Amino acid sequence: MTIWLEEFTQRLCGNIMVYLFPVLFGYCSWELACGGSNMHSFKDLNAFGSDRAGALKSTCSETPVSVLQRACKTSLNCFCIIRDNSAKTMGLVSTSNSVFKGVDLHSRTNNTEHHTSEISVDQLIVRRGQPFILTLKLAQPFNPDLDQLTMTAETGNYPSETRGTMSRFGVPNKIPASASSKAVWKAELKKGSSPETGSLTLTIKPPADAPIGEYKLSAKHKEEKQVLANLSVLFNPWCSDDWVFQPVDAQRQEYVMNEHGVIYRGNNSQISPCQWDFAQFEENMVKICLKILDLSVKYKRDPAGDVSARCNPIYVGRIITNMIHNESTFGVLEGNWSGNYRGGMNPAYWSNSYTILKQWYDTYYKTVKYGQCWVFASVMCSVMRLLGIPCRVVTNFESAHDTDSSLTIDTYFTDCGRAKPSGDSVWNFHVWVEAWMRRPDIANNGKYDGWQVLDPTPQEKSEGMFCCGPAPVAAILNGDTRLKYDVPFVFAEVNADCVSWLIKEDGSKMKLLSDTKKVGQCISTKAIGSNKRMDLTDAYKYREGSEKERAVFVYALSSLTNGAGEEENGHMRSTRRMGAVDDMKNDKPSAPPPQLHIQFEEDSRPVIGEDVKLKLVLSSDSTVTRLLSVNISVQAMRYTGHPAGNIQTEVTEQKLLPGEDLSIPILVPFLTYQKYMVQCRNMTFSTIITDLQNKENRYLAERHINLMDPPISINVTDEGRVNQPMTVEMVFMNPVEDTLRNCTLTVSGSGLTEETTIKLQDLQQGRRLRVQFTIVPYRSGERTLLLDFDCSLFRDIKKSCSICVQA
């Protein structure tokens, strides 16, 4: 018997596990416990075909040699992988007369070089276009001039050289490649090897266009073939030949390696940052993310073609947008905007992606309930970063949902100022992701390379399935709505014009307002290297009101009406009436601008649990007194722009004196809006004002209010160290004259603690809640602790703090 690596010849005491897999036939897998009474259960290596387990005890007096001789007495030809009780791989040894005696994958070294050591230091995970090393031990000398080592890398169930899912290569490189071969791997004998002793250190390089996924690496020498390893291959933003290459290191660190994010919600005048834990390097994330690809409808229809197409980040991005939501079978998340979240979690509950993805994976791909746009986008960002595609989460405030590609959003109001549901809508905010990649499929000059919009929220179909993008941000900026994928839809989200209509009692419509500047405000993402907000609006559109902005709008609309918007190659169908472009060019107001100025003002930002106070301020250029009928409506609004309930309505007659402002106070008591705000944080104040001296003159104004949560404080008293407990304290004061029931506190944070929910006692009015708990950090670096406080009146109040964890 030959044992490779010196530590295997030493006597061991403690718990070890031995994995055995056959070279040719049979199955074998054992558990071992040395010098202890506790038997540990270890799974066999399914990747190598082992599916039957047994148990074996050894003593401290035995060497690994004798243990393995006993363990392998029923298998004439097998390899063993030795792992200690910390699951650290010690090496691979042979128990037979095989020419292959061992392999060292150098997983820690390789993973560090390939920027994957945050994922694992035991499992080999490499990036395409970049070499890695392994050391192969043969039982006999190897002569590069006479001998040939043939290696094979293959992925998927139907490996093929012509599809790029299998590659045959060798040392020396004498294996002829077929002219139709794609994604050819290469290997070289590293300097410093000792082939005369049978020790070969090889440098192996997957090509920069290799499909990503799980690979089986095998070797053949003379007539014997042996599986050497299973490894994962990911995209490589560090490699200039990879389509996802990102040349700026600070951006690679932020958009690939950073596990912490900030999601922006609220509205354009009250932007609320929300901390999010992408947690892309947590346990089993490689398996989870690759399983998402394996369950797609594209894979089911054509598994060989799908695996081959995974060389293309454009294709992979579209698949992921389709798989994040439940409109696809086995989709990760179910969307719910109803306000009724029975059977699942309020979308506002989630603070990290890993909890969602792990639940989906552990329940055999059962869709997780529930998500909304920022949850879909954040989970997708985690998957993209894990796979190696630079990705960031982006929020568009005043985001249009244009259902017919007309680039116009029509909204309707009743006489009392209440908004009515309609097919089109303007969301307070909408969240998608941007991914960094080249787009040679639409231009060879790199014009459309760079950031691409991908939207996993299921809204409209593209090529027959619910997915959106990648749409180049450069194409959106310039109104290139002819280009794929889904540029017209995203262009409308940031550029559509809004027309407001009054529905009269007789059912007739009256145009109240046309607004070309409302949509697409404060487009936001987290800044590089900090938690500050970075504004991306200028990357998506030219300055509102400028000649360039209007020219781009007309150009985009013209492209659609000329038929370029048909659903072909990822384009969206345009149904705008003929002549619409001429209408836009000749669109002039039918009457002079109204001589009435309307503004909602607030003294301070409203906090949920307190009365909401605003003022409606009117002024006029008129030289005479004006008699006005003022209808003020307050509605609870979902962030999607759809009403969730009518809170109150007020109608008064007012006199507006010339040269003076008229201030009308508005009070919405907490008890009046309380029931609407349990599942909602948004109010819309709208007013329709009628000139009683000329009732055809009607004026509309709106103001969206996003209520702030009551404050929570976090105190961390201990210094953070890996595997050392530290104490955290949360303090919350009940701000309302009512008892808070069903109180819970959820704690999470990648590298700090597994997600844990603590049930708390009821909190009486005016009382303070103080909760202490312990966390044990398990990874070093800058980490973010996330808290979610939930109760009967306040749902999912968030708080976070940064903790620097020392190794």
Residues recognised as catalytic: 373, 430, 455
DSSP per-residue string spanning 616-630: EEEEE--SS-EEEEE
544 known ligand binder: yes
Q: In the beta sheet, which residues pair with residue 333?
A: 325, 368
495 known ligand binder: yes
Q: Is the dihedral of CA 301, 304, 307, 309 positive or negative?
A: negative
Cis ω before 542 (30° cut-off from 0): no
303, two tokens? 């598994």
Helix (H, G, I), strand (E, B) or coil at 756: strand
CA 49 – CA 23 distance, rounded (Å):
10
Q: Is the dihedral of CA 154, 158, 160, 162 positive or negative?
A: negative
Helix (H, G, I), strand (E, B) or coil at 8: helix
Helix (H, G, I), strand (E, B) or coil at 656: strand
702 known ligand binder: no
CB atoms within 10 A of CB 52: 9
Nearest to 690 by CA among 766, 616, 776, 596: 596
Nearest to 260 by CA among 280, 281, 249, 276: 276
Q: Say if strands 125-127 and 465-466 run parallel, antiparallel, or are unpaired.
A: unpaired
CA 516 – CA 395 distance, rounded (Å):
20
Secondary structure percentages of the chain, helix, strand, coil, to 5? 20, 40, 45
Nearest to 639 by CA among 410, 457, 413: 457
DSSP per-residue string spanning 691-722: ETTSTT-EEEEEEEEEPBPPPEEEEE-SPEET
Q: Say if strands 497-503 and 509-515 run parallel, antiparallel, or are unpaired.
A: antiparallel
CB atoms within 10 A of CB 10: 10
Q: Give CA torsion, residues 505, 508, 513, 519, to 10 deg.
A: 100
Nearest to 519 by CA among 547, 482, 559, 491: 491
With contact defined as beta carbons under 8 Å apart, do 120 and 126 qualify?
no
Scanning 302-372, the segments in alpha helix (DSSP H) are 303-309, 313-323, 353-362
How big is the CA angle at 386 (ends 380 and 390), to the nearest 5 degrees?
75
CB atoms within 10 A of CB 726: 19
Q: In the beta sheet, which residues pair with residue 626?
A: 656
CB atoms within 10 A of CB 560: 27
Q: At what angle do helices 313-323 and 373-387 cross, to 10 degrees?
A: 140
Nearest to 169 by CA among 182, 150, 183, 154: 150
Tokens 């941000």 found at: 473
Residue 98: CB partners within 8 Å, gap ≥ 6?
23, 77, 79, 139, 224, 226
Query: What DSSP designation does 653 have?
Result: E
CA 105 – CA 91 distance, rounded (Å):
8
Q: Binding site residues, as ranges? A: 495, 497, 544, 549
Q: Binding site residues for Ca(2+), as ranges? A: 495, 497, 544, 549
